[in-house]
Amino acid sequence: MKHITRRQFGKTVAATAAVVYAGAALPRFALGDPEPTTLHYPKGFKWGCATAAYQIEGGARDDGRGASNWDVFSHTPGKTYRGDTGDVADDSYHLYKEDVKLLHNLGVSTYRMSLSWSRIFPNGTGQPNAKGMDYYQRVVDELLANNITPYITLFHWDLPQALPGGWQSRDTAKAFADYAAYATRRLGDRVHHFMTTNEFACFTDLGYRVGQFAPGLKLPDKEANQVRHHGILAHGLAVGAIRANTPSGTEVGLAENANVYVPVIESREHIEAARRATREGNAPFLTALMEGKYIDSYLEQEGSNAPKVEPGDMKVIGSALDFVGLNIYTPQYVRADGSAKGWALEENPTSYPHMASPWLTIGPECIYWGVRNVTDLWKPKGIYITENGCSSDDVLTPAGRVEDTDRVMYLRNHLTQLHRVAVEGYPIKGYFLWSLLDNFEWADGYSKRFGIHYVDFKTQKRTPKLSAEWYRDVIATNAVE
């Protein structure tokens, strides 16, 4: 793909410069730093791709799968773009071997996928459905046969519809732990990395307070805060359930879209402001997990709407983790101010650039500061970027190509910041690109494409985009040129 590497290019420039300017003092770059800009990642760095069950599987009624809240929500008129649903999606339920082949061709060492809870427990609790579990055994075996290590998320938003009250009920947290126990016991001989939940704010606040995601409720603050509490309690209970049902050495974490606070200027005061913002701005979720408590500023802010906590809850919620997974897409800029709080959010100007999804503003430093703030505050044993990627207005040309130059630009810049944080010694272990292939983008239906493989949703044909070619090179060289 490349005709001349930067290394060769650098040598050529240096040789030419030496002839023309022999004897003169030259700027360092002209003398040919052997690899001026090649960014090498640590040895053994894990490169992967991420997906989620409801977004790719389809097969919504196959082999005894029960309905999830997202089946119901997406089939409710007006909830998703043009009424799109995950009934078929990428049909990965039937085409999973093809998808593992895509992963193999990329050369990834890891793959992050999720399980559909209602495939395994059609009613959320009670009798498991053997055929549902069998499907995941097949997928895992196919991955392992291709030397790809599975990282499994137990809950990526598709909640069994049969559970009364959904996340409004504390019993759902217990049901989740039972499901986690069963699924990880069945997979634990072959799978050694599990994530409990994906993005608390999305399945709690967006589902129950804002109403934009399933189940589409707009509850008052007190009830919505209780939903949040049940979400993090479910995580904590599942950590214990997984540990009790898998061999020692199994790694347990989660995938969380913590708000990433980037200092407006990298000066000491703004860096300090961003660190404080990270702790306070993530108080209901990541901070509660890392510290095993709701911090004072959150309790004060919520006052009488604060969640009801039962004895022992916070200890469970604060269960030790083997790694923290961060889903990182966008930055929030923060500056130090004179207030008692010490920080304030900066608003972006209207000219601030974004990708195809309007919310997806571009600020590659979010990768660096996301990892750094979380490490500086809580020193987790390991961190993964469990999602990073973007939507583009991809077009399949008649020649069968997708030239997603903007996605390559987005990814290259984010990986540059990933390199920066790795060489500074932060405990970053791996990176999962969202996503392997175009898929059901929740409320946006099929209108937003996040894949590095283009999917024709009529024929289910997968076509690697330019970004897939580019990512394959990154993985092969363990470097960004």
Q: Which residues are catalytic?
A: 199, 387
DSSP 430-473: EEEEE-SS----GGGTTSSB--SEEEETTTTEEEE-HHHHHHHH
| Separation between Cα atoms, residue 107 and residue 473, nearest integer Å | 9
Instruction: Compute the least distance from the CB of residue 465 to ligand GBH, in Å.
Output: 16
* Contact status: 327 vs ligand GBH (CB under 6 A): yes
* Contact status: 161 vs ligand GBH (CB under 6 A): no
Helices (H), 204-353: 205, 221-245, 268-281, 288-291, 296-302, 313-317
User: Based on CB atoms, which residue is closest to ligand GBH, 260 or 402?
Assistant: 260
Close Cβ partners of 183 (under 8 Å, ≥ 6 residues apart): 115, 120, 133, 136, 154
Bond from prior residue into 34 cis (ω within 30 degrees of 0): no
User: Based on CB atoms, which residue is closest to ligand GBH, 204 or 246?
Assistant: 204
Is residue 351 classed exposed, middle or buried when 0-12, 13-18 and 19+ CB atoms within 10 A define those classes?
exposed
In degrees and rounded to multiples of 5, residue 328 shows phi and psi of -125, 125
Strands 110-114 and 149-155: parallel
CA distances from 27 to 5, 7, 20, 23, 36 (A): 21, 17, 14, 12, 13
* Contact status: 198 vs ligand GBH (CB under 6 A): yes
* Contact status: 153 vs ligand GBH (CB under 6 A): no
- Check residue 278 and report its DSSP letter: H
* Contact status: 91 vs ligand GBH (CB under 6 A): no
* Contact status: 84 vs ligand GBH (CB under 6 A): no
The window from 198-206, 259-267, 341-349, 422-430 that contacts ligand GBH (CB under 6 A) reads: 198-206
- Check residue 387 and report its DSSP letter: E
* Contact status: 366 vs ligand GBH (CB under 6 A): no
Give me the torsion for CA of 313, 314, 320, 322, rounded to 10°: 80
Bond from prior residue into 435 cis (ω within 30 degrees of 0): yes
User: Based on CB atoms, which residue is closest to ligand GBH, 365 or 387?
Assistant: 387
* Contact status: 286 vs ligand GBH (CB under 6 A): no
* Contact status: 387 vs ligand GBH (CB under 6 A): yes
The window from 194-202, 259-267, 294-302, 400-408 that contacts ligand GBH (CB under 6 A) reads: 194-202
The window from 72-80, 196-204, 231-239, 289-297 that contacts ligand GBH (CB under 6 A) reads: 196-204
* Contact status: 441 vs ligand GBH (CB under 6 A): yes
In the list 39, 49, 52, 422, the residue contacting ligand GBH (rule: CB under 6 A) is 52
- Tokens 């008692």 sit at which residue? 340
User: Based on CB atoms, which residue is closest to ligand GBH, 365 or 441?
Assistant: 441
Instruction: Compute the least distance from the CB of residue 365 to ligand GBH, in Å.
Output: 18
Strands 383-388 and 428-434: parallel
In the list 154, 187, 202, 224, the residue contacting ligand GBH (rule: CB under 6 A) is 202
Q: What one-letter code names the amino acid at 263? A: P
* Contact status: 68 vs ligand GBH (CB under 6 A): no
* Contact status: 212 vs ligand GBH (CB under 6 A): yes
Instruction: Compute the least distance from the CB of residue 257 to ligand GBH, in Å.
Output: 5
Instruction: Compute the least distance from the CB of residue 153 to ligand GBH, in Å.
Output: 9
Number of residues that bind ligand GBH (CB under 6 A): 15
Site for ligand GBH in 231-260 (CB under 6 A): 257
**Of how many residues is the chain composed?**
481
- Tokens 């050495």 sit at which residue? 249
* Contact status: 388 vs ligand GBH (CB under 6 A): no
User: Based on CB atoms, which residue is closest to ligand GBH, 344 or 360?
Assistant: 360
**Among 1, 116, 6, CA closest to 53:** 116
Q: Which residue is nearest to ligand GBH (CB)?
A: 359
Instruction: Compute the least distance from the CB of residue 189 to ligand GBH, in Å.
Output: 28
* Contact status: 129 vs ligand GBH (CB under 6 A): no
In the list 96, 135, 369, 450, the residue contacting ligand GBH (rule: CB under 6 A) is 450
Cα 141–chain centre separation: 23
User: Based on CB atoms, which residue is closest to ligand GBH, 41 or 285?
Assistant: 285
* Contact status: 199 vs ligand GBH (CB under 6 A): yes
Cβ-contact 49, 103 below 8 angstroms? yes
Instruction: Compute the least distance from the CB of residue 214 to ligand GBH, in Å.
Output: 12
Is residue 34 classed exposed, middle or buried when 0-12, 13-18 and 19+ CB atoms within 10 A define those classes?
exposed
* Contact status: 434 vs ligand GBH (CB under 6 A): yes
Residues making contact with ligand GBH (CB under 6 A): 52, 55, 198-199, 202, 206, 212, 257, 327, 329, 359, 387, 434, 441, 450
